[in-house]
Amino acid sequence: MLVDSHCHLNFRGLDEDLAGVLARARAAGVGYFVNIGTTRAEWPTIIATAEANADVGATVGIHPHEAEHHPDIDTAALVAAAAHPKVIGIGETGLDYYYDHSPRDQQQTSFRAHIAAARATGLPLVVHTRDAEADTTAILREEMAQGAFTGVIHCFTASRAFAEVALELGFYISLSGILTFKSAADIQETAKGLPADRILVETDAPYLAPVPLRGKTCEPAYVAHTAAFLAKLRGVSEAELAATTTANFRRLFTKAA
């Protein structure tokens, strides 16, 4: 069994044929889906999809792109939303300095609120970071010093040095279809050396379809291609890779059980 540890089932491209999307993924060996929250308005739909499907979990969070538009979403709001039995994580949250769709100070404030919610609930934090390694590192270190929390760096595209920081702090690292791209040699090299007990796989569907489906609307079924590529890269069987990443997922997302 594989787990798609990060997808957006209610985004355009998937939501129109959600039953088909889930059926195709299940047929491809995907046994669990994490449906990720990015705006407050999405939360009811994301949670409803999880309620309707035993193999779907939800997260509640505000994407860094949306931080400017959600000044009211503080730690208390996140903790309250996370009380729902199908909410298994906090996020996605983090910093995105590539697009800078929200002012950086507001991204950082939102990120810290999410961290506090993860600490308060014991749920894992789902972190997005792009072109913001230094500030992401600083905030994670500062917040960890105030009290432990767990989490995952989703759709890993950062440096080996950042991976080492994340691992040192107890985080897991999730690899997406980007791993299969020809331009991803550095990410592939980092992925080879990650501890087996800290890796997850994801699609970030409907984005980032892996080779050989690059350019198509990504579906959770395609996580099988990323997993197969990662297994070959690390010199293990696809079955072993699936068993390892699924065990890791269960260890991190304990509420999914």
Task: Tell me how far the alpha carbon of residue 70 is from its chain's centroid.
Answer: 20
Residue 22 binned pLDDT confidence (cut-offs 50, 70, 90)? very high
Mean pLDDT of 102-119: 98
Whole-number Å distance between alpha carbons of 70 and 20: 33
Residue 65: is it exposed, middle or buried by C-beta count within 10 angstroms (0-12/13-18/19+)?
A: middle
- pLDDT, one tens digit per residue, over 125-140 is 999 999 999 999 999 9
Mean pLDDT of 178-187: 98
Whole-number average pLDDT of the chain:
98
Instruction: Report the number of distinct structural domains present in the chain.
Output: 1
- pLDDT, one tens digit per residue, over 1-16 is 999 999 999 999 999 9
Element (H, E) at 6: strand 2-7
Mean pLDDT of 42-53: 98
- Domain range holding 154? 2-256
CATH of the domain at 194: 3.20.20.140
Q: What is the DSSP string of 236-250?
A: --HHHHHHHHHHHHH
* Percentage of the chain modeled with pLDDT above 90: 100
Whole-number Å distance between alpha carbons of 170 and 155: 17
Whole-number Å distance between alpha carbons of 183 and 180: 9
Q: What is the pLDDT of residue 73?
A: 97
Whole-number Å distance between alpha carbons of 79 and 116: 9
Q: What is the pLDDT of residue 1?
A: 95
Beta bridge partners of 126: 152
- pLDDT, one tens digit per residue, over 144-173 is 999 999 999 999 999 999 999 999 999 999
Reading across the β-sheet that carries 172-175, which strands appear in turn? Answer: 2-7, 30-35, 56-60, 87-96, 125-130, 151-153, 172-175, 199-201
Prediction pTM value: 0.97
Residue 257 binned pLDDT confidence (cut-offs 50, 70, 90)? confident
Q: What is the DSSP string of 110-133?
A: HHHHHHHHHHHH-PPEEEEEES-H
